[in-house]
Amino acid sequence: MAAKKGPKAFIAKAPIRRLMKAEGAGLVAEEAVKILIDKLVAMGADVTKEAVKLVKTDKRKRVTAADIAAAARV
């Protein structure tokens, strides 16, 4: 019987680990990377939801960089 896999990750661990190391973290625990990824995904989802509200208010279909920038300020 095959092992049940979790949902597909949106953000890879390696680039996040490199980011953390580039910011001065010498050693980075696996759990720390996972928590940061979870926070980034949640923030991305929140910003996207706000951007979609702006798009719908303007009766448009395409989310633009300006929509994301405006939603991220909220």
Residue 44: CATH number of its domain? 1.10.20.10
In sequence order, which residues have a C-beta less than 8 Å from that of residue 54 and are 6 or more positions away? Answer: 67, 70, 71
Asked if residue 7 has pLDDT above 90, the reply is no
pLDDT tens-digit series, residues 21-74: 999 999 999 999 999 999 999 999 999 999 999 999 999 999 999 999 999 986
Q: Which residues of 60-72 are buried (b: 16+ CB within 10 A; e: fewer)?
A: eeeeeeebbeebe
Task: Say if 25 falls within a structural domain.
Answer: yes
Q: In this predicted structure, what is the pLDDT of residue 2? A: 55
Q: In this predicted structure, what is the pLDDT of residue 38? A: 96
Task: Say if 2 falls within a structural domain.
Answer: no
Name the DSSP class of 63.
Answer: -
Amino acid present at 52 = V
Task: Say if 3 falls within a structural domain.
Answer: no
State which residues form the domain around 58: 13-73
Task: Say if 1 falls within a structural domain.
Answer: no
Map tokens 């009766």 to a residue.
Answer: 59
Q: In this predicted structure, what is the pLDDT of residue 9? A: 75
Task: Say if 6 falls within a structural domain.
Answer: no
- Total domains, the chain: 1
